[in-house]
Homo-oligomer: A and B are copies of this chain.
């Protein structure tokens, strides 16, 4: 599940057109379409608006947003999976150290 998919899902459940949600977010409908298809990242601050509109936990939105960013970096990389795992190790090691 990507952020774009999530947004589309929430929007449709709420019975909104792209133009309507776009208006709520203060962006154009073309841009929202790209966001829903994960072709453009949403501004991070706008997650708050989604949280308010759809009552979805901000943590979930943040993770999905961040994941999209990571994915856009490793998408075309041979070593994508290895790199992700190495990064994971580093995160775990850091949290150990700071515990």
A residues neighboring B (CB under 8 Å): 1-2, 59, 62-64, 66-67, 69-71, 73-75, 77-88, 90-92, 94
Contacts and interface: CB of A to CB of B under 8 A. Distances in A.
A81 B88 contact: yes
Count identical subunits in the complex.
2
Nearest to A94: B75
Given A59-B79, A62-B78, 6 more contacts: A2-B90, A66-B83, A67-B86, A70-B83, A70-B84, A85-B88
A89 to B, nearest CB: 8
Contacts of A62: 77-79, 83
Contact of A86 (B59, B64, B81, B92): B64
Given A62-B79, A79-B62, A74 B91 contact: yes
